[in-house]
Structure 1
Amino acid sequence: MTVSGKDSFLNHIASKLGRERIYDVQRPDLQALAPDSYGSLTADELIEMLKEQCFFIHTQVIESNAEILQQTLDDLVAANGGGSVITSGDARFAEYGLEFANASVWEEAAGREQNILRSEAANTAIVFADYALAESGTVVVESRPDQGRALHFLPAHYIAVIEKKRIMLRSTRAAADLNRRIQAGELLGSSINFISGPSNSADIEMKLVVGVHGPLRAAYVLI
C-alpha cells in the first residue's frame, strides 16, 4: 500500500518550515515525556486515585471479584432499568462465565450495520477495559472486529469491567505498552478510544450537562 503524494506533501511542509526535510525520524521516549510525579505507587494507591478521579467525572466505581462479578453486573443492569444488553465479543466474558438475559453480542459475523443497530437498541453496554488510567479516570478500549466504536457510544448506559492488573497511572503508560505490542508484531485495533465517564458538555452558557451525546451513566467495576 502506498500513500499518494506523500513526498510532495512532506517536502512542502519542510519548505514552509524553512529547513531541509528530515528523513531519519526518531520515536519519542514515551516514558520520559511524562515521568511519574507521584513517585512509586502501589496497586492500592492507584485504585484510590482512580476512585477519587471518578467522583469528579460522574462515574460510579464498584469493587467486586470474579466470584460475584455476574451478580454485580446483573445488579447494575437492573439499576439501569433492565432492558436489552450488548456486550463485546471479548473472550473474557467466557473466562468469567458471564451470561446476560436479553443480550446481544457485537460480533464480526453480524456485519457493521447490524452491530450498530444492536448498539442503538441496547439500554446497557458491558465491555472489558484494555487499560484504566488512574490519573484521569479513563478506560482505554480498542476498536476491533469483536468490539466496534458504536458499542461504547450508542447505548444509554455504559459499564466497563476493569481487572486491577490493567490499572496504570496515565496515558503515556498505556501508549508505551501499546507501542511495545506493535514492536512485537501484534496487530492492534483500527482505533484506540480513551473514555472518561459519561458524555458531557459545557458548551452552552458554561453549564455542565451530562449525557448529551452518548451514555447517560457510566460505571466501572473493579475485579
Structure 2
Amino acid sequence: MTVSGKESFLNTIAFKLGRERVHDVQRPDLKEWIPDSYGDLTTDELIEILKEQCFFIHTQLIESNPEILQRTLDDLIQANGGGAVITSGDTRFTDYRLNFPDSYVWEEAAGREKNILRSESANTAIVFADYALAESGTIVVESRPDQGRSLHFLPAHYIAIIEKKRLVLRSTQAAADLNRRVQAGEPMGSSINFISGPSNSADIEMQLVVGVHGPLRATYVLI
C-alpha cells in the first residue's frame, strides 16, 4: 500500500517547524517523561484503584471466578431484562465453557451487515477485555474479524469480562504490550477501542447524561 502525498506532507510540517526533515526517528523512552506517582503496585492494589474509578464512570464492577462465571453472567442478563445476547468469537468463551441460549456470535462468515443487525437486536453484549486500565476504568478491545466495533456500541447493555492478568495501571502498559506484539509479528486488529463505561455526554449545558449514543449500562466482571 502506498501513501499518497506523504513526503510532501512531512516536508511541509518540517518547514512550518522551521527545521530540516528528521528521517531517523528514535522511539522515546516513555519512562523518562511519564511520571510514576504510584510506584510498584500489587494486583490487589490495582483492583482497588479500578473499583474506585468505576464508581466515577457509572460502571458496575462485580467480582466473580471461573467456577461461577456462567451464573454471574446469567444473573446479569436477567437483571438487564433478558432478551437476546451477542458475544464476540473470542476463544475464551469456549475456554470458560460459557453458553447462552438466546445468543448470537459475531463471526466473520456471517458478513458485516448481518453482524450489525444482530448487534442492533441484542439487548446485551458480552466480550472479554484485552486489557483493563485501572487508573481510568477503561477496557481495551481490538476490532477483529470475530469482534467488530458495532458489537461494543449497539446493544443496550454491555458486559466486559476482565481477567486479573489483563489488569494494568494505565494506557502506557497496554501500549507497551501492544507494541511488543507488533514487533513479534503477531496479527493485530484493524483498530483499538478504549471504552470507559456506558456512553455519556455533557455537551448540553454541562449536564452529564448517561446512555446517549451507546450502551445504557456497562458492567465489568472481574475474574
TM-score (normalised: structure 2):
0.98
CA distance in 2: counterparts of 1:58 and 1:138, whole angstroms: 12
2:102 is equivalent to residue 102 of structure 1 = yes
Q: Which residue of 2 aligns with 1:190?
A: 190
CA distance in 2: counterparts of 1:183 and 1:30, whole angstroms: 17
Q: Any stretches of 5+ residues in structure 2 without a counterpart?
A: none
2:176 is equivalent to residue 143 of structure 1 = no
Output the amino acid matched with 2:83: G
Extract structure 1 runs of 4+ deviating beyond 4 A: none
**8 Å contact from structure 1 (residues 31, 176) kept in 2:** no
Alignment of 1:170-209 (within 5 A): 170-209=170-209
2:122 is equivalent to residue 122 of structure 1 = yes
Q: Which residue of 2 aligns with 1:77?
A: 77
Deviations 1:140-173 (A, max 9, x none): 0000000011000000000000000110000111
Deviations 1:80-109 (A, max 9, x none): 000000000000000000000210000000
Output the amino acid matched with 2:187: L
Deviations 1:121-144 (A, max 9, x none): 110000000000000000000000
Inter-CA distance 112–100: structure 2 relative to 1 (3 Å threshold): same
Using the TM superposition, give the Cα deviation of residue 186 of structure 1 relative to its aligned residue in structure 2, in angstroms. 1.0
TM-score (normalised: structure 1):
0.98
**8 Å contact from structure 1 (residues 128, 162) kept in 2:** yes
2:67 is equivalent to residue 67 of structure 1 = yes
Q: Which residue of 1 aligns with 2:215?
A: 215
CA distance in 2: counterparts of 1:162 and 1:78, whole angstroms: 20
Using the TM superposition, give the Cα deviation of residue 33 of structure 1 relative to its aligned residue in structure 2, in angstroms. 3.7
CA distance in 2: counterparts of 1:7 and 1:39, whole angstroms: 42
| SS of 2:20 mapped into structure 1 | coil
Using the TM superposition, give the Cα deviation of residue 14 of structure 1 relative to its aligned residue in structure 2, in angstroms. 1.2
Give aligned-pair identity as a percent: 82
Inter-CA distance 107–33: structure 2 relative to 1 (3 Å threshold): farther
Q: Which residue of 1 aligns with 2:13?
A: 13
Q: Which residue of 1 aligns with 2:28?
A: 28
2:57 is equivalent to residue 57 of structure 1 = yes
Using the TM superposition, give the Cα deviation of residue 66 of structure 1 relative to its aligned residue in structure 2, in angstroms. 0.3
CA distance in 1: counterparts of 2:99 and 2:35, whole angstroms: 41
**8 Å contact from structure 1 (residues 30, 175) kept in 2:** no
Inter-CA distance 32–90: structure 2 relative to 1 (3 Å threshold): farther
CA distance in 1: counterparts of 2:186 and 2:29, whole angstroms: 20
| SS of 1:76 mapped into structure 2 | helix
CA distance in 2: counterparts of 1:33 and 1:94, whole angstroms: 41
CA distance in 2: counterparts of 1:101 and 1:208, whole angstroms: 36
Using the TM superposition, give the Cα deviation of residue 4 of structure 1 relative to its aligned residue in structure 2, in angstroms. 1.3
Using the TM superposition, give the Cα deviation of residue 30 of structure 1 relative to its aligned residue in structure 2, in angstroms. 3.2
Number of aligned pairs?
223
Inter-CA distance 189–30: structure 2 relative to 1 (3 Å threshold): farther
**8 Å contact from structure 1 (residues 199, 214) kept in 2:** yes
| SS of 2:140 mapped into structure 1 | strand
Root mean square deviation, CA, Å: 0.9
